[in-house]
Structure formats: C-alpha cells, structure tokens
Copies of this chain bind each other. A is one copy, B any other.
Amino acid sequence: MGELTASAIVIGNEILSGKVADSNSHFLATELRSVGVALQRVVVVPDDLAMIGQEVNACRAAYDLVFTSGGVGPTHDDITIEGIAGALGRAVVRHPDIEEKLRGFYGDKINDARLKMAEVPDGAELITDVSLNFPTIKVENIYILPGIPEIFQQKVARLKTRFTGIPYQLKVIYTSAGEGTIAEFLNDTMREFPDLMLGSYPKIGHPEYTVKVTLESKDGPYVARAFAYLLGVLPDGSVVKTEE
C-alpha cells in the first residue's frame, strides 16, 4: 500500500512579520504522523492571491493531501478562498448550507462581512462530521482550515481519523557522546538498514544527554533490528537511556 503524503500551506502576514508564531503546522505534523501520513512540506506565504495560488497548485499536484491554515474569516485580509479558487480555475460562490447556518446564527445582525464566511470555491464539499460549529470546506484534495489554533486543532483531530495508514514505529537512543563521535556508527547503521529513517539531534546544555538518535520505520521488526544493531556498535558507556 502506498503511503499518503501531505503538505501544509500556512497563510498569514502575521506569521511572516513575527507577530504570531505558527503552532498549527507542528500540531498537524504530529497528528498526521500518528496515523502514518507523511507530511513532506510546510510553507508559510503572505496574504497574497498570487503566492497562495502558486503554492496551492504546486502542492496539490505533488502531494496526496493539502491542508491550508488561515485566511478564512470575514475581513479584508481573509483571501484564502479566493486564492484557492483562482488556482483551481473555479469561481467563488456562496454555499447555501453555510449561508443558512450563518443567517440562523446571526439573525438580523447578518451582514456582508459575515456572509463572506459562506464563500467557497465552486464545487467544494462540506465535511460536517468533523465540524463543531462550522463545516470544514474541502475542494479536490485541499482541506481548508481556519488559522485560530483552538479551531484548527479541533478540526485536525477529527479529520485525521479519515486517514488510517500504518503508523510509524519509533525508537530513541540518547547518547552522552557527541555527533562527531557517533557519526560513523550511524553511517554503519544506514548501510545495514538503508530503509531506516535515522535522525540525529544534538542538544546543547542538557544535563542528561548530548545527542538524541531516533530510529523509525513502518516495519516494526525492521526498526527493532536496527535499534539492536546500533546499540551493539555504539561505544561502551555512550548510551544514557533508550525509549521504545
């Protein structure tokens, strides 16, 4: 079975100008990982139709799934729907189901700004089973999510149940020896286990360890053998602890 791949497009001047730190892409990465989906690209673009459109077209062609974050509210800087529609060559239309929901909620306080939130790329699908107050808009392979972290997280936590892949098996070795010392043993391990995902992450000033080494694969026995192999070749006394 092929592995599902994914990309994330985070839209917002506030992130590029440093006013807000994006936490949505990290949350998405963690959630997708837990269901075996490989997130392969995250990109942050400004509130700019051309930039959004260009990235949408690049990502939807290259990855199975595309998730966008941000730019779907009622104000002038919320241009994600228009950007995606433009990229797909679709019109922006008001979705009658969302319009009805908004009119029911706002009553006589409904206005053009609020009705903007009913706009979708023509032909978009509404996912209602993952929505709390508001459906999630999907068009082609693109899931359009709001930037507000609380809502983004709620939606992703439910959406991920749609993508039931084989989860990754992770084992971790913490070493007291530095990367310059263990590099050759990591190289040996990669030669023996070429399909292993092997990461090496030095940490400055940690009281317990110097490098965190991660071993991963969707093949449990394979990662177990690689783990045993690496533990066998690392210098005596260099392993502080392990996690399986």
Q: Say whether A17 contacts B33, CB under 8 Å.
A: yes
Contact of A183 among B19, B74, B183 (CB under 8 A): B74
Assess whether B199 is in contact with A19, with CB atoms less than 8 Å apart.
yes
**B39, A45: Cβ atoms under 8 Å?**
no
Which of A25-61 touch B at CB < 8 Å? Answer: 25-26, 29-33, 38-46, 51
A204 to B133, CA, bound (A): 14
| SS class, residues of chain A in contact with chain B | mixed
Nearest B residue to A29 by beta-carbon distance?
B18
* A151 contacts chain B at the CB level, 8 A cutoff: yes
Of the candidate stretches A8-16, A121-129, A229-237, the one touching chain B is A8-16
A135 proximal to B (CB < 8 A): no
Cβ of A214: which chain B residues have Cβ within 8 Å of it?
Answer: 14, 19
Q: For A198, what are the chain B residues with a Cβ–Cβ distance below 8 Å? A: 76-77
Neighbour of A44 across the interface among B18, B30, B43, B202, CB < 8 A: B43
Q: Which residues of B contact A114 (CB under 8 A)?
A: 180, 183
Known contacts A42-B43, A74-B179, A18 near B22 by CB under 8 Å = no
Tell me the smallest distance from the CB of A26 to a CB of chain B, in Å. 4
A73 at the interface (CB under 8 A from B): yes
Shortest beta-carbon distance from A181 to chain B in Å: 8
Supply 13 A–B pairs (Cβ within 8 Å), ascending by A.
A16-B42, A17-B29, A22-B26, A40-B46, A41-B45, A43-B44, A75-B186, A76-B186, A76-B187, A106-B180, A111-B183, A113-B179, A114-B180
User: Which A residues have a C-beta under 8 Å from some C-beta of B?
Assistant: 13-23, 25-26, 29-33, 38-46, 51, 73-77, 106, 109, 111-114, 116, 148, 150-151, 168, 179-184, 186-187, 190, 197-205, 214, 216
